[in-house]
Structure 1
């Protein structure tokens, strides 16, 4: 029988920041894609991309809140 690993939160902030950076990069790429291909995309595809970026923004807000929680926990 194995024992569970201890909860190591020491690098959580770094991991969350990396996730935020990656998400921001995906948002930029999506916006660039829409701009570059706006004539080729139908309105449904454009709306899908914009909706996804909206969800990404909401996710980033939650991740930033998690960073605050981690900072308070590691205080």
Structure 2
């Protein structure tokens, strides 16, 4: 049985839009988590929510950096 698997072409044309969508979704998740802090039952829950939001902030920074890289690559 022969397999003719070919890799998909590298289509980066919509990466910026995808990254912007990911940033938007992450910000929405952060806002929802901030609202849930008011209902947190324990200090441990509060710390977990705050730690997760910190990781989300770091992800957003990475997404923004990646957008800049994509913009530079598209200009080249």
Q: Which structure has the larger Rg over C-alpha atoms?
A: 2
Residue 70 (structure 2) aligns with: 70
May I ask how many residue pairs the two structures share in their alignment? Answer: 72
User: What is residue 61 of structure 2 aligned with on the other side?
Assistant: 61
Q: Please tell me the root mean square deviation across aligned C-alpha atoms, in Å.
A: 0.8
Which 4+ residue blocks in structure 1 deviate beyond 4 angstroms? none
Segments of structure 1 that go 5 or more residues without pairing to the other structure are none
Q: Deviations over 1:9-37 (max 9, x none)?
A: 000000000000000000000001112x1
Residue of structure 2 equivalent to 1:14: 17
Aligned partner of residue 3 in structure 1, secondary structure: coil
The TM-score normalised by the length of structure 1 is 0.92
Question: Structure 2: 5+ residue runs without aligned partners?
Answer: none
Structure 1 residue aligned with 2:26: 23
Give the TM-score, by structure 2 length.
Answer: 0.90
